[in-house]
Structure 1
Amino acid sequence: MPSPVQDALIELMIVAASSDTTMTERELARIESLVGRLPVFEDFDMHRIAEVANACADKINGNGGFEEVVEAAIAAVPQKLQDTAYSLAVEVIASDLHTSQEELRFLEFMRDHLRLDRLTTAAIETAARARHRRLPDTLTQG
């Protein structure tokens, strides 16, 4: 049976990935990877990702736009998982190694609607940057 919480977490990742108007292959692969391996998605039917993504796109293109989708998704996420929701969004945005102004505004919008303190969100953002960092060219050349 589909979980509204899992769907909401996926919707937040979809909105995060498309907040700069384009969802890259790397971002989509990251979403699939996160859903496939994290305990919060442990009994999620992987075949439903496309269904949830398409429903999310329809909602975004509807009357309320992305703000309504984000607000509804956050409302569906229990307080205990709000840091998880923010972490998932940050992880998807960090995955393409470039953060646009639109993506930063999206994260700010999420921070404003989640009940998380600034220290927690800063720690989540720093950890994501550290996980996605690459070796500088000077270290890889020999």
Structure 2
Amino acid sequence: MAISLQDALIHIMVVTASSDEGISDHELDVIGSLVVRSPVFADFDLERLSAVANAAVDKTNSAGLDAVLNDAIASVPKRLHDTAYALAVEVAVVDVQLPQEELRLLEMVRDRLDVDRLVTAAIEASARARMRAA
């Protein structure tokens, strides 16, 4: 069964956050913040956020990472593939240091979304610049 675009984007963010063996409170806060401020979520009911995030975790546990990513990416129109990747990167860089598991997951997301390498490099550089401390 296909999921909505907004649910798909949340699934991608949750899977990214959980790729390093758990979702931190800070990662959950970032996901919530992205949902609140990103235009792609303009008509999303925020009261559903927890249920959608839990559904992503449950589906990952029952069907596996590949199934979650395949279903989510199938629900994202091509014109929003760079947006989906940017949201995943925003969640990944929260921890400042990216463990190998998160890097591998971002690579999987990037490859499945088929986003141009120059675009992904720009997204990643922008996220790193925003996360730098003084």
TM over 0.5: yes
Q: Which runs of 5+ in 1 are unaligned?
A: 136-142
- Equivalence for 2:113: 114
Corresponding residue of 1:97: 96
The one-letter amino acid paired with 2:90 is E
Percent identity of equivalent pairs: 55
State the shift of 1:118 in Å: 0.7
Distance 1:55 1:95 in 2: 22
Which letter does structure 2 place at the counterpart of 1:56? A
Partner residue in 2 for 1:77: 76
Find the aligned partners of 1:56 and 1:90 in 2 and give their Cα distance. 17
Shift of 1:24: 1.0
Q: TM-score, normalised by structure 1?
A: 0.90
Q: Which residue of 2 aligns with 1:13?
A: 13
Letter in 1 for 2:14: I
Deviation at 1:115, TM superposition (A): 2.1
**For residue 50 of structure 1, what is the aligned residue in structure 2?**
50
CA deviations 1:49-106 (Å, max 9, x no partner) are 11101111111011x3011101110110000100000000000011121200000000
The two structures have a TM-score, normalised by structure 2, of 0.95
For the residues of structure 2 that align with 1:112 and 1:25, how far apart are their CA atoms? Answer: 28
- Cα-Cα RMSD: 1.0
Instruction: Compare CA radii of gyration and give the structure with the larger one.
Output: 1
* Kept after mapping to 2: 8 A contact 1:24/1:96: no
Amino acid at match of 1:116: V
- The letter of the residue matching 1:94 is V
Alignment-mate amino acid for residue 29 of structure 2: A
Give the distance between the partners of 1:114 and 1:45, measured in 2 at CA.
26
**Residues in 2 aligned to 1:96 and 1:30: alpha-carbon distance in whole angstroms:** 11
- Count of paired positions: 132
Aligned to 2:87: 88
Runs of 4+ in 1 over 2 A off after TM superposition: none
Give, in whole Å, the separation in 1 of the partners of 2:73 and 2:32. Answer: 20
